[in-house]
Amino acid sequence: EAQVTQNPRYLITVTGKKLTVTCSQNMNHEYMSWYRQDPGLGLRQIYYSMNVEVTDKGDVPEGYKVSRKEKRNFPLILESPSPNQTSLYFCASKKRYEQYFGPGTRLTVT
Amino acid sequence: QQPVQSPQAVILREGEDAVINCSSSKALYSVHWYRQKHGEAPVFLMILLKGGEQKGHDKISASFNEKKQQSSLYLTASQLSYSGTYFCGTEMVNNYGQNFVFGPGTRLSVLP
């Protein structure tokens, strides 16, 4: 089944403890992206990647890192999480026009 | 800069029609529409490209006026399954790739 997977689905952590949210797609898509979703603000792009080793900042990249060493994987790294990074995170991959979203990761930073 | 959507929320009875608007202060080269049901991931509905075309998906259609930098989503004879939050979005193409920007969303509730 064609899909985008994210892990973990839920995470509660404390300020400053490094964490990684994994994202993987099995559709051989070149384009991948991370979004955060907050009430009233919609989906805001954090980082995107056009292909392996090619990444660029979206609208809200502060406090996040990404890497794209393989085509299928695009992990999101929070080196020192803060409470304002509490949010719902979506990974997506795209072929041509349509973006396919993962199920989301709900992160709470206390 | 985020596209602007209106209304923020709308409540309908089954069978009624609705229009959701999306506008941008920057030039739009394409407009994407997505729907997100409660507790789920967004799902692609359609894309409109430059040219003022109108596209449709079942009883959901959309138009794109690039001169006015506006798009509208039309939901005809709403069904209960149409409930959800609708997002418009657009690509900002630069030298490095495609930054994607979504609007804040319009929450649609269809009641029996």
The pLDDT assigned to B12 comes to: 96
In this complex, the residue of A33, A43, A97 whose CB is nearest that of residue B87 is A43
Hey, is the C-beta of A54 within 8 angstroms of any chain B C-beta?
A: yes
Q: How confident is the model at residue B52 (pLDDT cuts 50, 70, 90)?
A: low
In this complex, the residue of A42, A56, A58 whose CB is nearest that of residue B103 is A42
**A·B CB contacts under 8 A:** 59
CA nearest A93: which of A73, A64, A78, A66? A73
Distance CA(A5)–CA(A86), nearest Å, equals 20
Q: Provide the mean pLDDT of chain B.
A: 90
Residue A102 has pLDDT above 90, yes or no: yes
Q: What is the Cα Rg of chain B in Å?
A: 14
E-assigned strands of chain A? Answer: 4-7, 10-13, 19-25, 31-38, 42-51, 54-57, 65-66, 76-78, 87-95, 98-101, 105-109
CA nearest A34: which of A58, A16, A3? A58
Q: How confident is the model at residue B97 (pLDDT cuts 50, 70, 90)?
A: confident
pLDDT digits (tens, 9 = 90+) for B56-93: 667 899 999 888 899 999 999 999 999 999 999 998 87
Identity (one letter) of the amino acid at B58? Answer: D
Distance CA(B105)–CA(A86), nearest Å, equals 20
Hey, is the C-beta of A14 within 8 angstroms of any chain B C-beta?
A: no
Cβ contacts of A98 on chain B, cutoff 8 Å: 44, 47
Q: What is the Cα Rg of chain A in Å?
A: 13
Q: How confident is the model at residue A14 (pLDDT cuts 50, 70, 90)?
A: very high
CA nearest A33: which of A61, A11, A13, A63? A61
Residue A61 has pLDDT above 80, yes or no: yes
